[in-house]
Amino acid sequence: MWIRTLVPADAAAFQVLRLQALREDPVAFASSYEDERDTPLLIVAQRLQPRDDRAIVGALDGDRLVGLAAWHREEMRKMHHKGFVWGVFVAPSHRGQGLARRLLQEVIALARRADGILQLNLTAAAGNAPALALYQSLGFVPYGREAAAICVDGMLHDDVHLALKL
The domains of the chain, with CATH numbers, are 2-165 (3.40.630.30)
* Burial state string for 127-154 with b = 16 or more CB within 10 A and e = fewer than 16: ebeebbebbeebebeeeeeeeebbeeee
Q: Rounded mean pLDDT of 3-23?
A: 98
Torsion of CA 138, 141, 146, 147, to 10 degrees: 80
Residue 166 identity:
L
pLDDT of residue 22: 98
pLDDT at 6 over 90: yes
**What are the tens digits of pLDDT across the range 83-124?**
999 999 999 999 999 999 999 999 999 999 999 999 999 999
Helix axes 99-113, 129-137, angle to 10 degrees: 50
pLDDT of residue 140: 98
pLDDT at 11 over 90: yes
Average pLDDT, the chain: 97
pLDDT at 50 over 90: no
Residue 103 identity:
L
Q: Rounded mean pLDDT of 114-143?
A: 97
- Residue 27's Cβ-side half-sphere holds a number of Cα atoms within 13 Å equal to 15
| pTM of the predicted model as reported, rounded to 2 decimal places | 0.94
Q: Rounded mean pLDDT of 62-78?
A: 96
